[in-house]
Amino acid sequence: MTSVRVVDAAAVTAMGDTCDALWDGLLAGRTAIRPVRRFAVERYGAGIAACIEDLTSGPGCSLLHALLERLWARFGPVPGDTVLLTATTKGGIDNLERAARGAPAEPGDVLLSGMIEAVAGRFDLTGGINVSAACASSTIALGRGAALIRAGRAESVLVVCADLVTEFVFSGFSALQALSPEPCRPFDRERHGLSLGEGAAALLLMREDRARREGRAEWGTILGWGIANDAQHITAPARDACGLIRAARRALEMAGVTDRIAAYGAHGTGTVYNDCMELTALRALFGARRLPIYGVKGAIGHTLGAAGGIEAVIGLLCLRAGVIPPTVGFRNPEPGAEGLVSAAPAALAGDAILLGNAGFGGINAALVLGCGGYG
């Protein structure tokens, strides 16, 4: 069976512009969730988010371009025959805000195809496909990219994901009464909701034989993936976790490494329904086995369509270091999270990680990541 390798990766978050800055911040238990200064927040249910505070753009340009430029500063060359997949929920939606206020705004930035054009132009690639599947967007894009390689339809796939904190998005989550007035606290019984964040990630996937032949880096392997929809509610996950269970079970069956899974990288939004749903899914998948759980949204916020890609980069860093980061904000365990979620880093006791993401509309996606090394 064709092995799918991750041969390059980069991430930009409110924790910093590099993977090292992100990893160091996570291990130190820091949070990048701070008061929002980009727009007025007095009318909303919260005033904090994990924004990249010095992110700026030219007149009429979306901040998305500036975010992607930071990403390229730490990302290597891309082969010309690479298939491009992008992932975002709202793309350059900040330009819709500008246009509504009569300010200069490039209309192409508002379209999701604008992100494809920006990335394809940067690497001289021919077109691409954007995945916009709520907060599971980039997890699905990674699974789709891996499937193209395993099916022999591509040898190299570039997955790029990004989303911004904009007033448009912030006001929507405020209207849902989903925003926490303090940095979110995944799996903590005293949580008050989620915190938004922004960021981007890029991952270059390649067939193992080509990666070895070209002497590519050994970031890790995508071993399995799964996608499912629970069709329960427009914003809430199914209480019985049927969608996430189905997606994760498919990923685990494909990977064939269930007994080697060392940890679960949670979606972990810090909302009651999401956190309980994930705990329910893990009990169904692993039974009495007490699998360590970690979540990063208390540190970098919920980056929406970019969450899965950023969390995949973090998962690869976990496997490389043999450690999972603390869950920032976790102090008083949700029932069922006792001894599984920790406010301190923990050593990995295996060479594979299961990642899960869930989104509005009942969308669920899962990935299984394995260690690097060309056997």
What pLDDT, in 10s, does the model give residues 163-179? Answer: 999 999 999 999 999 99
Q: Is the pLDDT of residue 74 over 70?
A: yes
Domains 4-213 and 221-370 share a fold: yes
In the chain, % of residues over pLDDT 70: 99
Mean pLDDT for all residues in the chain: 95
Residue 59: predicted pLDDT? 86
Question: Which of the residues 267, 276, 318, 371 is marked catalytic?
Answer: 267
Residue recorded with tokens 């209309």: 107
Check if 65 is active-site: no
Fold assignment, 221-370: Peroxisomal Thiolase; Chain A, domain 1 (3.40.47)
Q: Spell out the domain ranges in the chain.
A: 4-213, 221-370
Q: At what angle do helices 272-286 and 242-255 cross, to 10 degrees?
A: 40
Amino acid 111 reads: L
pTM: 0.97
User: Could you tell me how many residues make up the chain?
Assistant: 375
pLDDT in tens, 76-86: 999 999 999 99
Distances (CA, A) of 141 to 117, 128, 170, 275: 17, 11, 24, 24
Report residue 259: phi and psi, to 5°: -75, -10
Gap between the Cα atoms of 180 and 327, Å rounded: 16
Least confident window among 68-72, 115-119, 156-160, 234-238? 234-238
Window from 87-96, 229-238, 315-324 with minimum mean pLDDT: 229-238
Strand 293-294 relative to strand 48-49, pairing: unpaired
**Could you tell me the sign of the dihedral formed by the alpha carbons of 154, 226, 136, 261, in that order?**
negative
Amino acid at 232: Q
Model confidence at 374: pLDDT above 90:
no
Active-site residue identified among 61, 302, 318, 371: 302
Cβ-based neighbour number of residue 59 at 10 Å: 9
Q: Is 240 a residue whose pLDDT tops 80?
A: yes
pLDDT of 1 reads 66
Stretch (H or E) spanning 272 = helix 272-286
- What is the per-residue DSSP string for 195-258? -BB-EEEEEEEEEHHHHHHTT----EEEEEEEEEE--S-SSSPPTT-HHHHHHHHHHHHHHT-G
Q: Is-catalytic flag, 51?
A: no
Q: Which of 364, 370, 371 is nearest to 134 (CA)?
A: 364
Q: What is the pLDDT of residue 264?
A: 98
Considering the domain delimited by 4-213, tell me its CATH architecture: 3-Layer(aba) Sandwich (3.40)
- Whether 229 shows a pLDDT value over 60: the answer reads yes
By percentage, how much of the chain surpasses pLDDT 90? 89
Is 302 annotated in the active site?
A: yes
Q: Using CA atoms in the order 190, 193, 198, 200, what is the torsion angle rounded to 10 degrees?
A: 80
**Tens digits of per-residue pLDDT, 114-145?**
999 999 999 999 999 999 999 999 999 999 99
Which of 314, 311, 267 is closest to 19 using CA atoms? 314
Check 19, 51, 61, 135 and give the catalytic one.
135
Q: Distance of CA 341 to CAs 49, 72, 242, Å?
A: 23, 34, 22
